[in-house]
Structures are given as C-alpha cells and as structure tokens.
Chain A
Amino acid sequence: FKLRPSPRPGPGEHPLQFNYAIWFSRKSQGKTSSSASYDQNLKLVGTFASVEQFWGIYSHLVRPSDLSGHCDYHLFKEGIRPMWEDSANNKGGKWIVRLKKGLGSRCWENLILAMLGEQFMVGEEICGAVISIRYQEDILALWNRTACDQVTTSRIRDTLKRILNLPPNTIMEYKTHNDSIKDNSSF
C-alpha cells in the first residue's frame, strides 16, 4: 500500500489538507476474528487528494444503507491502515455512535464531509472514520490518535454531535483501541 504513488490534486481541483484512502471490508464466513483475517478482508477502493477526486470515487460507491450483510467502509488518512495495531492508532481510540437503520447513509456523509473539510479542529488527531453495517443497526466510528487526551476527545464528541445533528438522547461511547484489542471486539 505504501508503495503506491500518492494521489495529487489535478489542475483546478480543490486540494484537501490530507490525502485519504477508502477501504471496504466484508466479514468472511466462519468465526475467525484474528487481526490477520481482518487484514485480509480489507480491500482498498481508492485514494484521493482533492474534493473532486473524493466525489469521483464516492459517487460510484453503493450507499452504506443499500449494502447487505456484515460490511464496513473505512475512510482513513493515507498511510494509516484501518487497524488498531497501526502505529498511528495503537495509542488511540474511537467515538462510537449507534444509529437506527435508515440513518446510516446520511450520517456517514455528514461525518466524512466534516472530516475532509477539517471541521474537527483537533490538529493531526483524526485518523479516520468507519461505518459498519450490521443486521439491526448502523454504527459510525471516528478514530483519533491519542485516547488519553481528554480535551481532544471531548472536542471531537461535541463536533460529532453538532455535525450529525442527532436526537439528544443518542448514546455515544468512547472506546480505546487497547480495550478493543483486549476484549477482541470492536463495539
């Protein structure tokens, strides 16, 4: 992945603060949940460096709510693999927002547009975002680098609430990747 040439904004395009990659994964049959099998299921969809390149990829993707089965989109900064073990993530954590079925596509779009537009105002802290399509709910997660930095995680939570415009009783939980590794479950 790191050997790929980095994308560059084309003439007249609007550059993003960071380059990004979109990944897709679908849970394989069987019950193995090792990090190796997770890694194997990650498929790189594309990379982009500008607003226009983002739309060029995103517009061709199936909307999250129209996917079936147990699958995830991951949108991460270029160079960060969407895995707990990546060096950018291993001291980090994520905000988790559980959504009723039907809200996933709209909330995912609002989340990633805020991330690409640098609306979180937490410097280099944001690593990436995930939407997980599950049988009874859709789950958004926003990953950051430093789980122990409470000022940053609180600011991310407040911005998330604002940009997702969710009902006030929506439950948000923060989980460190270290805890996810220990209990070997993501949510």
Chain B
Amino acid sequence: GTKIFYERNFLMQCRNSPLTR
C-alpha cells in the first residue's frame, strides 16, 4: 500500500491539535 510520510513540521503542528489529549 501507500507509505505514510510526515515531515517534522507537520508532526509538530499536530502536537497542538485539539485531537491530541
């Protein structure tokens, strides 16, 4: 299947997402 890549900056943005508890 497709590989799931994430850049560091995107991962850092997710840290502040309301979904992150």
Among B8, B17, B19, which residue has the most Cβ atoms of chain A within 10 A? B19
User: Does A117 make an interface contact (CB < 8 A)?
Assistant: yes
Q: Interface size (A, Cβ < 8 Å)?
A: 20
Interface of A is mostly: mixed
* B21: A residues at CB distance < 8 A: 52, 56
In the complex, are the beta carbons of A51 and B6 less than 8 A apart?
A: yes
B1-21: which have CB < 8 Å to A? 3-8, 10-12, 14-15, 17, 19-21
Name A114's closest neighbour in chain B (CB-CB): B8
Cβ-defined contact, B11 with A59, below 8 A: no
Stretch from A6-14, A33-41, A85-93, A175-183 that touches the partner: A6-14
Map CB proximity to B onto A109-139 as digits: 1 under 8 Å, 0 otherwise.
0100110111100000000000000000000
Q: Which of A8-64 contact B (CB under 8 A)?
A: 10, 12-17, 51-52, 55-56, 59
Main secondary structure of the interface of B (DSSP, over half): loop
On B, residues with C-beta under 8 Å from A are 3-8, 10-12, 14-15, 17, 19-21
Q: Contacts A14-B14, A113-B11, A116-B11 given; indicate if A55 touches B3 (C-beta within 8 A).
A: no
Which of the residues B5, B12, B19 comes within 8 Å of A119, measured between beta carbons?
Answer: B5
- Of A12, A13, A59, A117, the residue contacting B7 (CB under 8 A) is A117
- A13 adjacent to B3 (CB under 8 Å): no
Taking Cβ atoms with an 8 Å cutoff, the residues of A that contact B are 10, 12-17, 51-52, 55-56, 59, 110, 113-114, 116-119, 163
Contact of A110 among B5, B7, B8 (CB under 8 A): B8
Residues of A within 8 A of B6 (CB): 14, 51, 113, 116-118
